[in-house]
Structures are given as C-alpha cells and as structure tokens.
Structure 1
Amino acid sequence: MNLTVDQKNLHLILPSKVSWVAGMLAEDRNMSTLEAVKAFYASETYKQLEKEETKMWHLGPVALYQSLLKENL
C-alpha cells in the first residue's frame, strides 16, 4: 500500500480541506457556502495548497483559514 502523498494523488485530500475552510469562511463572512468555496478556490492560499511541494496539505483547516484571512478577502 502506497501512503506517500505526491502531486498525482494530492487531489484526494483537498476536498475535505476545502470543505472545512469554506465552511468557516461562509460562517464568518455571512456568505453562502458556494460563494465561500469559489472564494477559496480563487485564493492564493488554495493555489499554494494544490502544489504538493509547498507541503501546505499538512496544515489543518484553522491554519489554512488564517492564511486565507491574510489575503484580505
């Protein structure tokens, strides 16, 4: 069994992280979940998250959300 995360399988762990971060954003900014998901996907934080070499996939939802907030969405 291969338990190594690489660029080929990183996409398997991203949906849960997107879900958590978008949920926090929607609640904090009083926006719909769809708007929050779109905002997260368009963010620099997500662009870095989807690159395996940044290792941002190690971060939990709170750390990712804090990174997102630094972008002044």
Structure 2
Amino acid sequence: MPWKTLDDIELGGKTVLVRVDINVPMEAGRVTDMTRIDKIKPTVDDIIEKGGKVVLLAHFDRPKGKVVPEM
C-alpha cells in the first residue's frame, strides 16, 4: 500500500499531529541555526491552507541520563 500524502487527505476541520525533529543548536538561549525549523514550515503552511489545525510534537536535546531542570 503506498504512503498517503497531504494531497490524499481531506484536512478541513481536522487536527493534524506532526512529529518534527527540531533539535536545533542553541547558544545563550537563542537558536543559532533555523534550518530544521525552516524545513517544516511548508508542511505546516500546507495543512493550515487546507483548513487543518496543526499540533507539533517534538523533543529537545538529550540530557544524557541527567536531570536538567530547564528541560
């Protein structure tokens, strides 16, 4: 069975969960490279244009087994 794309689905009035990888590099609390964020924008825009609501699901960084309060 072939994968469905956004063009195959009626999105009007639906909420779409989109899993994204936005583990971006940061310095002093600021994003230093927007590439990954910029790459998801066309998909988000397409869902919105077709009448859908977008929920982005992501994680940020890997604390390497340590408790990191700011995460």
TM-score by length of 2: 0.29
Q: Which of the pair is proportionally richer in helix?
A: 1
Q: Which of the pair is proportionally richer in strand?
A: 2
